[in-house]
Structure 1
């Protein structure tokens, strides 16, 4: 989370804020592990931390134009720490729309689009990557090649049929910044924006940047004045937007993929290599089930892993 070309007069302040933003998710994860809480609280907890740098940033409303960040909680609940105390961190509780490290400024800026956020979530917590299909494409004249909805476009739909609705879980978090688009300020539909769009005023006084303002296809024509994140979403996918990343974690917890991925990553960390196919057959399911039955305690997983024959054979 660094930015090139920042003027020297702002460099120190910018770097201090960058360092603080990057430290925040580490402290969230550290607190979960040290307290032996369910490991996936790192993805859902509202707990967070501020130091002097972030306290002043939030409480004094500084940094607009360098960092666009919605205050994570009512300002009176953000700990008041002097700016000259960057090493002093205090815990506090963020607003209800937050979800662990997945809504921290560090995560949202490092992965600036909904698609990037989905890709990182799948790779980091599900051990999955998106790989294009090897199936042949339809002929060039097929209209699906020109579909603006990537979940339907030929050559794109194989991955984006999953990426687009999953990315909607970050639909209330703006792209390329860390702003939360609250339902109160940004309703699903804004009649003023629709009126401007129908009259050809796509700027609408600068008030409708988050809304569909141009009819570049039939779906968009039927969605003028609608918040962009709802465009192309089906009725079954729209709850993802309001449920946020916490809903995504809740759903993924039901598949077993998160447990298996965590086991693989801890295995790699402790043995210095990935599981072999044979080791996956011997250990993956049992370690994953043990991890789940012990309330996703990372401490318990590590204790079980280091007792395996595979670990004890390390030279």
Structure 2
């Protein structure tokens, strides 16, 4: 006969076994359990608005079997939905450019004198040396320029202040200026008189290698003592104020296109193909005056005809956005500064495009690479590297019409110069630094002494790399159009949105009994036909999978 203790042990084991079986069965069916209508509402609100429903919203669905269509429509038309779609695209595109937009040649520093007077001046040693002589460390004296006056040629009168290690140096006074970045017209700052000069042009005499008239907002305007920061200091910037605002405007410029093509009023494919753009006050001022002042060793954001006409709006019009129509080779968000400056090399731009819009990541080969070059600059032939670069280099050529580490369009640039001298003369005033920034020498295969200078993106445009030239000419718009026409763009966008809403990747395994590859293909084909982003969202949240336990 079984003892009492043995019976207890057996009973406990049996209960435990039954409980485990029930839990296992429940776990097995977990993904197939449909959410209650209240939990469906919560999920829908969090996904489409980023907030939980309030008490009144919960009360409105009490006792219902499904979410009313009117609630879905309200959520999709809310401003919160717009913000959610911005966040979704920011996750894909990393829209946070963080680059230096100023350098010492036109960035303003400040000096506080003993009586607490604060005076601003350009900190570049070369500019200070041109103005005041000496070793370039000097600035103006603490007195109004009106007490010193001006010379007949308009230059500020400067007094001798002594001798330093390189010779005699001078100092002018200061003037009060209303800076362009200050919204209150009654507010002024004190600026050293040389730096505050409002001259817009200067002329170099015959015999000078750069003889002729040039503008004072050029990076090589340091030849003229009469060039300062321009009217209202337009050619200079107080970096701590202007740079964050311009970078924030670049980010907002891209996100405004996201708004335009996710609100259901325009075809979503326009996100990567449109010529439209938006410009506000900080961007208009930056590209009109400051972009071309950057020294050639730093980022290059020179406004070009293809960028469209800049609106005449003041810098302080931060919230005034004007629509601008660009020209080829522009292609939606792919050629906006926020994208080009966030991914500063053509390879990085191509890689991010491939991830966000082609749904592919580069992975090193799993087998040993043979028949390759152990050394060399051509990564499509180098061992280990070529498994990825044979795809990446032709893809990156699509972005070659835009300068690396910058947003300057190169479509109006000469593709090649026969010599270094001719290359330097391609810019006025002539500049070898300009040539080195945009071009690279290409030694002739027969005679290495023949060194034509070709745009850097075309360095490997030859018979061994037949796709470089055509892809360069097609530009980003050619790449975008190819993926739109093939359906790949809409398929990847569908997968990305499915993952966002379902909180998991779709099961694309063709051998899986629960596979979703056919569903994704069907949704993508529907999306390609109507090209309406909101309709795709509405379609996905109607799927049974969306109403189940995540």
Same fold flag (TM > 0.5): yes
CA gap 1:76/1:167 in 2 versus in 1, 3 angstroms: closer
Q: Does the CA-based 8 Å contact 1:194-1:226 persist in structure 2?
A: no
* Structure 1 vs Structure 2 CA RMSD: 3.0
Residue equivalent to 1:188: 415
Instruction: Please give the per-residue CA displacement for 1:273-310, whole angstroms capped at 9, x wherever unaligned.
Output: 2223435235111111111122x211221222122111
Contact 1:212–1:223, Cα closer than 8 Å, also in 2: no
Contact between 2:282 and 2:318, CA under 8 Å: does it hold in 1? Answer: yes
Greater Rg, structure 1 or structure 2? Answer: 2
Query: CA 1:100–1:220 in 2, change beyond 3 Å: closer, same or farther?
Result: farther
- Aligned partner of 1:150 in structure 2 is 379
1:230 corresponding residue in structure 2: 458
CA contact (8 A) 1:193 1:211 kept: no
The offset of 1:50, in angstroms, is: 1.1
Match of 2:333 among 84, 95, 101: 101
**SS of 1:226 mapped into structure 2:** strand
Which protein is richer in strand relative to its size?
A: 2
Q: Is the Cα–Cα contact under 8 Å of residues 59 and 75 in structure 1 kept in the other structure?
A: no
Tell me the equivalent position of 2:403. Answer: 174
Partner residue, 1:129: 361
How big is the shift at 1:227? 2.1
Deviation of 1:257 after TM superposition, in Å, equals: 2.7
Distance 2:447 2:377 in 1: 10
- CA shift, 1:113, in A, is 0.3
**Where does residue 41 of structure 1 map in the other structure?**
270
Alignment partners' CA distance in 1, 2:483 and 2:446: 30
User: 63-72 vs 22-31, which deviates more?
Assistant: 63-72
Worse overlay, 284-293 or 236-245: 236-245
**Offset at residue 18 of structure 1 (A):** 0.6
Would the aligned equivalents of 2:369 and 2:383 in 1 still touch at CA under 8 Å?
A: yes
SS in 2 for 1:60: helix
Change (3 A) 1:131 1:43: same
Work out whether residues 401 and 472 of structure 2, in 8 Å CA contact, stay in contact via their aligned partners in 1.
yes
- Residues 16-55 of structure 1: matches in 2 within 5 Å? 16-55=245-284
Residue of structure 2 equivalent to 1:87: 319
Alignment correspondent of 1:200:
none
Query: Mean Cα displacement is larger for which, 261-270 or 217-226?
Result: 217-226
> Which structure carries more relative contact order (alpha carbon 8 Å, separation 6+)?
1
Q: Does 2:337 match 1:241? A: no
SS at match of 1:170: coil
1:13 maps to: 242
Q: Pick the structure with more helix per residue.
A: 1
- In structure 1, the residue matched to 2:439 is 211
CA distance in 2, matches of 1:287, 1:57: 43
Q: Residue 40 and residue 257 in structure 1: after superposition, are their counterparts in 2 closer, same or farther (change >3 A)?
A: same
User: SS where residue 187 of structure 1 aligns?
Assistant: coil
TM-score normalised over the length of structure 2 = 0.50
Q: Distance in 2 between matches of 1:5 and 1:204?
A: 21
Distance 1:46 1:253, change over 3 A: same
Q: Is the contact between residue 354 and residue 360 of structure 2 (CA under 8 Å) also seen in structure 1?
A: yes
2 CA distance for matches of 1:237 and 1:219?
A: 22
Q: Offset of 1:104 from its aligned partner?
A: 0.8
Instruction: Describe the shift of the 1:255–1:156 C-alpha distance in structure 2 as closer, same or farther (beyond 3 A).
Output: farther
Asked if 1 retains the 8 angstrom alpha-carbon contact of 2:460 and 2:468, the reply is no
TM-score by length of 1: 0.85
Contact 2:281 2:317 in 1 (8 A): yes
CA displacement at 1:214 relative to structure 2: 6.1
Match of 1:257 among 484, 488, 492: 488
In the alignment, structure 1 segments of 5+ residues that lack a partner are 198-202
Once residues 132 and 82 of structure 1 are traced to their aligned partners in structure 2, the CA distance between those partners, rounded to angstroms, is 50
Aligned residue among 288, 298, 301 for 2:533: 298
CA–CA distance in structure 2, aligned partners of residues 308 and 145 of structure 1: 52
Q: Secondary structure at the match of 1:84?
A: coil
3-12 or 267-276, which moves further after superposition?
Answer: 3-12
Provide the rounded CA distance (Å) in 1 between the counterparts of 2:244 and 2:379.
37
